[in-house]
């Protein structure tokens, strides 16, 4: 047991990366474009949606293609008069229009699917760092190492697995529909084309569905491998923390955030005050006395200039009495911190103000 503990301590001593990455490290990796994502998932979803779209639009596609082919087959009767220098461009544009009508819906669907799937995986990332040239990529030794790296070996195993599973799916479908193949001899050309087209699309959809299932496992692996690759040692985390603490801009932002939170908490206490004592423009001090909680009145909020004005505005909105007493307001502001009790020397002055406020309220 002691040997194991000593071994673990030695790993930490030599910088073993055993800790989850910090938010700063994750943001740096994101800015470099290193984000966990599965290309297999994008490919599988794209193929599945594409072939499914082709199946749904097959009637529309087949109709246009057949009409176009029939038109061109009829040219054989007077082909010399059909193809002239004057109308060759018109025929060419007509072919492009048919191809565009057939492919445009499918290409649009593919584009949308690719955008949506990538966005769901990585969100919005704009960075040019992955495009920057790197000398390591030109190093033949590094290239040789990448060629025989663990990742490439895993990719090879995944490819073999995909080919094997998809091959079995295709074989199984063909065997189930083998009895229909002899009937092709009795079909006309149009029916044969429809049958072959449906067979190809059905096989493609099944293969894409299998790829989709495999891609979920790949996506999980990519996340696991990414988390493992960005792990940090305890020393790296300590160094990062020291760097952030030593950064004047970060420290300034932290202090500003703390001031905002403190001010927000203080302003939330103003409506609970018994009275606001002012001088009346420069200082404002909120005083509360709860005999069950304390043996003396307490300062629950105070401020100068703009903050004093905010305290008074909040008090007016919540109908908290405001009493002008210049010497007392200045003395309370300078000598009593928020959350502290009124000192003995100011008891009498504060008690007179509270008695006046309580008389107004009929207490």
Q: Quote the pLDDT of residue 143.
A: 59
Largest CA distance in the chain: 119
Q: Quote the pLDDT of residue 83.
A: 60
pTM of the predicted structure, to 2 decimals: 0.51
Q: Where in the chain is the domain with CATH 3.40.1690.10?
A: 260-361
From CA 320, how far away is CA 211, in angstroms rounded? 69
Cα dihedral sign, 335-336-342-347: positive
Distances (CA, A) of 280 to 76, 202, 259, 343, 360: 103, 83, 24, 22, 20
Q: pLDDT tens for the chain, 363 residues: list them.
A: 445 445 454 544 445 777 887 778 888 777 777 788 788 888 888 888 888 888 887 777 777 776 766 666 665 555 555 566 666 777 777 777 877 777 788 888 888 888 888 888 777 766 666 556 655 555 666 555 666 667 777 778 888 888 888 888 888 888 877 777 777 777 777 677 777 777 888 888 888 888 888 888 888 888 888 888 888 888 888 877 777 666 667 777 778 888 888 888 888 888 888 888 898 778 899 998 887 877 888 888 888 888 888 888 988 888 888 888 888 888 888 888 888 888 888 888 888 888 888 887 776
The closest alpha carbon to 310, from 361, 250, 260, belongs to 260
The closest alpha carbon to 222, from 341, 122, 353, belongs to 122
What secondary structure does DSSP assign to 160-214, as a single string? HHHHHHHHHHHHHHHHHTGGGGGGGGGS-HHHHHHHHHHHHHHHHHHHHHHHHHH
Query: If one looks up domain 260-361 in CATH, what number appears?
Result: 3.40.1690.10
Q: What angle do CA 69, 75, 79 make, to 5 degrees?
A: 145
Q: Tell me the Cα Rg of the chain.
A: 39
CA 344 to chain centre: 57
- Helices 150-176 and 189-229 sit at what angle, rounded to 10 degrees? 150
């Amino acid at each position: 047991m002691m040997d194991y503990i000593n071994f673990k301590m030695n790993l930490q001593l030599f910088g073993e990366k055993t800790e989850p990455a910090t938010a700063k490290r994750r943001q740096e990796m994101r800015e470099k474009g290193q984000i966990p994502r599965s290309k297999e998932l994008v490919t599988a979803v794209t193929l599945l949606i594409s072939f499914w779209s082709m199946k749904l639009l097959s009637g529309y596609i087949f109709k246009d293609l057949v009409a176009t082919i029939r038109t061109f087959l009829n040219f054989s009767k007077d082909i010399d008069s059909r193809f002239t220098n004057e109308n060759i461009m018109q025929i060419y544009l007509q072919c492009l229009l048919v191809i565009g009508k057939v492919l445009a819906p499918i290409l649009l669907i593919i584009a949308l699917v690719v955008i949506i799937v990538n966005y769901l995986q990585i969100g919005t990332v704009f960075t040019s760092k992955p495009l920057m040239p790197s000398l390591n990529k030109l190093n033949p030794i590094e290239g040789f190492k990448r060629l025989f790296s663990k990742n490439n070996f895993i990719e090879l195993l995944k490819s073999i697995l995909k080919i094997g599973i998809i091959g079995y799916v295709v074989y199984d479908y063909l065997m189930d529909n083998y009895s229909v193949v002899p009937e092709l001899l009795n079909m006309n050309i149009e029916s044969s084309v429809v049958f072959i087209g449906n067979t190809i699309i059905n096989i493609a959809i099944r293969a894409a569905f299998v790829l989709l299932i495999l891609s979920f496992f790949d996506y999980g692996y990519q996340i696991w491998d990414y988390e493992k690759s960005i792990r940090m040692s305890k020393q790296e985390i300590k160094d990062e923390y020291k760097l952030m603490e030593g950064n004047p801009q970060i420290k300034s932002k932290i202090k500003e955030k703390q001031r905002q939170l403190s001010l927000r908490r203080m302003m939330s206490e103003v409506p609970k005050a018994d009275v606001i004592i002012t001088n009346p423009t420069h200082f404002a001090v909120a005083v509360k006395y709860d005999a069950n909680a304390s043996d003396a009145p307490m300062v629950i909020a105070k401020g100068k200039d703009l903050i004093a004005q905010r305290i008074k505005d909040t008090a007016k909105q919540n109908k908290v009495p405001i009493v002008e007493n210049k010497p007392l307001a200045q003395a309370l502001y300078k000598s009593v911190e928020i959350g502290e009790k009124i000192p003995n020397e100011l008891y009498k002055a504060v008690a007179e103000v509270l008695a006046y406020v309580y008389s107004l309220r009929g207490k």
